Amino acid sequence: MTQASKYGFDTLQIHAGAKPDPATGARQVPIYQTTAYAFKDAEHAARLFNLQEVGYIYSRLTNPTVSALADRVCALEGGAGAICCSSGHAAQIMALFPLMGPGCNVVASTRLYGGTITQFSQTIKRFGWSAKFVDFDDLEALEAAIDDNTRAIFCETIANPGGYITDLDAIAAVANKVGLPLIVDNTTATPYLCNPIAHGATLVVHSATKYLTGNGTVTGGVVVDSGTFDWSASGKFPSLSEPEPAYHGLNFHAALGGMAFTFHSIAIGLRDLGMTMNPQGAHYTLMGVETLSLRMERHVANAKRVAAWLENDPRVEFVTYAGLPSSPYYNRVEKICPKGAGALFTFAIKGGYEACVKFVDGLDLFSHVANLGDARSLVIHSASTTHRQLNAEQQKAAGAEPNVVRLSIGIEDANDLIADLDQALAKATA
């Protein structure tokens, strides 16, 4: 994709990773609904299995439709290589997999998607991995949490749900100092609002389920590798820098350089964990990505208007949108995501838990769903749903207190959204 990088974002989101189908001339990326690919001869098959030639073997590993999406997101993020996965959560495991081993830990921000906190604090223990959660505004605490067994630092660009923006440059400086890879979940910012690699990230993960697809039709994920991390320098990443027994002793970093992570993720990660994206899902996400910049502009414009309206409403206690001058993270917008602070934020209703529940039930246009990044506006009461399994302290740290409602602002007419919020607030606080 280096070739395509002479183009601007609006061009890449339509053209990167795709050209007319060589077999038929089909202009749109076809859905290659096939499990396997015929080898030209036995010699060709052997070369593919040896990674001496890049090609298609079996769709658990690679598929042309899925590869087109991987290459497109890679180009939009300014990466060296990318892989698509079955979900955003799968992408997180796939990002950690080559780096971690039993006894290793990831140091993660306290401000994360609720499901990620559960995945990191509970489920990864089954692999012998663990996570330490730290306030990423406290750089000393971050450094203090890093130990000899730490293999990665993990955060989100714009953290869901509290409207928090991570100072990626500051975190990357710490990662750089201690020689560890920084993994950034860029789901809620999208590559249109922020390119974490430009701020020093090693790996970028996405839930393609959200803005990349943009209409709530797909579950998918992507991992993009910057290709710049030196996996051999510290001796901490033997699966990448030493002969890997799971792939007949191949030393991925020595053999593949900046593409080591990507090839490892395909040849071992997707092969053995099987968290593969299906070609039809990839096709839908490719359609979504074509209009990403246009949608994000409207998402941001609507979010700004709605957030400002809510902030001025006497029934509202506070609004946590980083695009509002009242936000403590307002000054990070210019540095991290100058095109806007996204379209996801929370606000507190006077009246607490009860009022929030009434408010959510009183909305007409906003759908009450456990999703975000849809063309249509969505609402959720995090404390009773997505962040329900967290304790009160974790809820507070994540910005999901009981009196707070999360909005994912869609691309409808902002006047209609405001009118709907107005009538539901009236019901909630009557």
Ligand X SMILES: *Cc1c(COP(=O)(O)O)cnc(C)c1O
Residues contributing to the site for ligand X (CB under 6 A) = 87-89, 113, 115-116, 156, 160, 185, 187-188, 207, 209-210, 219, 221, 372
Would you put residue 283 in left (φ > 0), alpha (ψ -120 to 50) or beta? Answer: alpha
Residues 6+ apart with CB under 8 A from 144: none
Rg (CA), the chain: 22
Residues 6+ apart with CB under 8 A from 389: 114, 118
Would you put residue 78 in left (φ > 0), alpha (ψ -120 to 50) or beta? Answer: left
CA 202 to chain centre: 14
- Nearest residue to ligand X on Cβ basis: 88
CB of 256 to ligand X, least distance (A): 28
Taking the least distance from each CB to ligand X, the nearer of 171 and 425 is: 171
Taking the least distance from each CB to ligand X, the nearer of 79 and 351 is: 79
CB of 24 to ligand X, least distance (A): 32
CB of 370 to ligand X, least distance (A): 9
Taking the least distance from each CB to ligand X, the nearer of 163 and 221 is: 221
**Dist CA 220 CA 91 (whole Å):** 8
Q: Rounded to whole angstroms, what are the CA distances from 118 to 11, 88, 394, 408?
A: 38, 14, 11, 22
Taking the least distance from each CB to ligand X, the nearer of 116 and 293 is: 116
Residues 6+ apart with CB under 8 A from 353: 383, 384, 402, 403
Residues 6+ apart with CB under 8 A from 376: 216, 365, 367, 410, 412
CB of 372 to ligand X, least distance (A): 6
CA 403 to chain centre: 27
CB of 425 to ligand X, least distance (A): 26
Q: Is 334 exposed, middle or buried (0-12, 13-18, 19+ CB in 10 A)?
A: exposed
CB of 114 to ligand X, least distance (A): 9
- 99 touches 152 (CB < 8 A): yes
CB of 158 to ligand X, least distance (A): 8
**Ranges of H-type helices in 28-150:** 42-49, 64-77, 88-96, 114-121, 139-145
CB of 284 to ligand X, least distance (A): 13
**Dist CA 151 CA 99 (whole Å):** 6
CB of 350 to ligand X, least distance (A): 28
Helices H / strands E in the chain, number of each: 18, 14
